[in-house]
Every structure is written in C-alpha cells, then in structure tokens.
Amino acid sequence: MKKEEKICEHCQQNFSISEEELILYKKVEIELPTLCFFCRIKLHLSFWMFGKFRKGKSDLSGESLITVLPEKTRYPIFTLTEWHSDKWNALDYGIDYNPDISFLKQLQNLQEKIPHPHQNGSKNTNCDWCDDVWNSKNC
C-alpha cells in the first residue's frame, strides 16, 4: 500500500496520508480525512481554552479558584466540583431552536450563558495550578 494524496476540503492544499496511517484507518474502520493536518488541528482547537493562570471566584459560591479562563467572561465560571454537582440545573439554560436565526449565532449565545468549569481533569490531588490534567498528584 502506498501513501495517498488528497486535497484539503477547507484550504485546498495538497496533503498526504502515509501508508502507516492508511493501515490504521482501515484497521479501526475510520474514514480517511478530508482535511489536512493543520485544518484538523484548527477545528479541534477552536473550542480549546487557552490562557494564563489567574485567581478568581466561583460565580455560584464565591469560592476562590485558579483558572485559565479569561477574567472578563460572558459566562459564569463554577469550580469543577460545583459544575458536576446538583447545585445548579443545566436545563435552566435550555433554549428553543429558532430556524430564523443562524444556528452558530444561537450556539454562541448559549455558550455565553451556560456555566463553564474552572478547569478540566479529575482524580487530581493538590493540582490547583494545572488544567486538563488527570489522575495526578502535587503538580
């Protein structure tokens, strides 16, 4: 099997799929990518929160927290524990779909209203200054 040449559906640049990748895609029964690596990364990272660590307070309890989320957000920030708790009801933020308004605009409006957790990760001990870390201790 040889590498396959494709044209990215987004940027129209040529990209290659190596023989090893073709074998993997076939083995796990995944369709071949239609986007180049850089366009796939842009798509993947478009919802990723990047920022500097800062101190803040939970909009639910006022508890101190450390987060990478911006200081002036359009959405409430809860501690991760609060976000996973029953102290708030996600259904309170539900909205009806309006076909007369762009779906993406409605998604943006929804994302600006719903609470966001101050960090991602679970089963961490003493890892306040970490984000997107899992099963870690004292980092």
State the DSSP code for 64.
E
Average pLDDT over every residue of 108-129: 88
Cα 89 off chain centre by:
21
Average pLDDT of the chain? Answer: 91
What pLDDT digit, counting tens, does each position of 19-76 carry? 999 999 999 999 999 999 999 999 888 777 677 889 999 999 999 999 988 888 889 9
How far apart CA 19 and CA 14 sit, in angstroms, is 16
How far apart CA 84 and CA 13 sit, in angstroms, is 42
User: H-helix or E-strand containing 77?
Assistant: strand 77-78
How far apart CA 37 and CA 100 sit, in angstroms, is 35
| pLDDT for the residue 125 | 87
| pLDDT for the residue 1 | 63
Please report, for residues 96, 103, 105, 106, the alpha-carbon distance to residue 100 in angstroms, rounded to integers and kept in the order given.
Answer: 12, 9, 11, 10
Identify residue 52 by its one-letter amino acid code: K
- Confidence class of residue 123 from pLDDT cuts 50, 70 and 90? confident
Long-range pairs of 106-113 with CB within 8 A, sequence gap ≥ 24? 111/75, 112/74, 112/75, 113/75
pLDDT at 137 over 70: yes
pTM > 0.85: no
| pLDDT for the residue 136 | 85
Residue 84 near residue 65 (C-beta atoms within 8 A)? no
pLDDT cut 90: percent of the chain above it: 68
